[in-house]
Structures are given as C-alpha cells and as structure tokens.
Amino acid sequence: MEITSRDNETFRRLLKLTQKKYRRELNECIIEGGKVVNEHITRATQIFVRKSSSNKLSGAFPPAPPPIFEISAATGQGIEALIKETARLLSTLAKPDPSIPNAVLEDTIDKNAFEVIAESVGVFCVRGPLVDNLIRGVVLTDTESNYYFQRRLVETGVIDALKAKGMKEGDTVQIADIEFEYFE
C-alpha cells in the first residue's frame, strides 16, 4: 500500500507514534536504520517503510508527503511494491566510474606478513600488518606486555628475519614509532 495523503488512517497512526504515550498505548514504534529494520523483518514484525528517510514523520512534509510502503514479513504483503520502487531508485543512481581503482579488501591482506629493511648500517626497520597489529596490543612500559612483545617477535620469525638481514647485538630496530636496541 502506498500512502499519498495526510488524511490516510495509517499515516495518522504513524504520526501519533512520534509521541511516547501513543507508542505505549499502541505497543508500536517507528524504527530507522537497516540493522534495526532487518532485526524486525527476521521476527516477522509488520513494518512501514518510508520512501524518503530525509523527512521525519514529526517534521513538516513537502506539499506531497513521501509515499510509505506497508509491508509484512509474515505475509509478504507489500514487499513486491517495495522491491520495484527500490529497483527504480537504484536505476537512477550514477554508474560507478571504472577509472577509480577498487579498494583492497582487508581479508585479502596477509595479516602475518612483514618486511625487514636495512635502513643504514646498524639500523633496521620492520613494517607490515603483523607488527602493526602486534604493536597496537602492547604497552612496553608494562613488564608482562614487554615480555609478550619480545616473545611474539621471536615466535613470528621477526628476529630471525632481522638476523638474516645482518642484525647483531647493539643494532637499532624500528617498529612503527618504537625504536630499541637489540640484545640477546
């Protein structure tokens, strides 16, 4: 059902739901946002969906109020009209620009990857998702956290990779904004 008049009984009931006393009396409410709407759909709750979310029911409407679709997940009533309107609106959107590169999805990044760079003689830099995640979870002023950090550097192969690049005792290691001297 599409509502196009302010005199519509459903519209008047929805307008009442902007007031707390009517929400309690009718045991109904107005919900907004995809997540909340999806939760109500899975519970087979009757939902009224506005075409335009930019207008508030309690606010002033333009001369012709936006249509509201009454749908029911339990009976399927109104869903076809809502889908058709959604498809129509989507067809009016601009097509994506193919010259803009696609973003790299986080789950395609190897979270255990790192690289060791010999910046200069006796100075080594470690970069990558592994050490970025590791450094976020430690507090180096805390003894236990510092031990954990050192143990993880050994377990993940960072220390072996540093040694393979030529690191020896007394050399400087930089990880993110942390710099320390290496000692066995």
In this predicted model, what pLDDT tens digit does every residue of 152-164 receive, in sequence order? 999 999 999 999 9
- Residue 66: DSSP 8-state: P
Task: Give pLDDT tens digits for 103-115.
Answer: 656 567 788 899 9
- Residue 45: DSSP 8-state: -
Helix axes 143-155, 129-136, angle to 10 degrees: 160
Give backbone dihedrals phi and psi of 39, rounded to 5 degrees, phi first: -60, -40
| 123: in domain | yes
Per-residue model confidence (pLDDT) at position 88: 85
Are residues 124 and 114 in contact, defined by beta-carbon separation less than 8 angstroms?
no
Q: State mean pLDDT over 47-74.
A: 57
**Residue span of the structural domain in which 54 resides:** 9-91
User: How far apart are alpha carbons 64 and 48 in whole angstroms?
Assistant: 18
Statement to judge: residues 85 and 116 lie in one domain: no
Taking residue 57's Cβ as centre, other Cβ atoms within 10 Å add up to: 17
Are residues 95 and 69 in contact, defined by beta-carbon separation less than 8 angstroms?
no
Q: Mark which of 91, 114, 132 sits at the end of a domain.
A: 91
Statement to judge: residues 70 and 112 lie in one domain: no
Provide the domain count of the chain. Answer: 2
162's tokens:
């540093």
First to last CA, the chain: 75
User: How far apart are alpha carbons 121 and 65 in whole angstroms?
Assistant: 72
| 57: in domain | yes
Q: Is the pLDDT of residue 53 over 50?
A: no
| 101: in domain | no
Per-residue model confidence (pLDDT) at position 74: 82
**What is the full DSSP assignment across 91-142?**
HTSPPP-TTSPPPPPGGGS-TT--EEEEEETTEEEEESHHHHHHHHT--TTS
Which of the residue ranges 33-47, 76-90, 133-147 would you say has the lowest mean pLDDT?
A: 33-47
Taking the model in full, what pTM does it have? Answer: 0.42
Tell me the CATH number at 162. Answer: 3.30.300.350
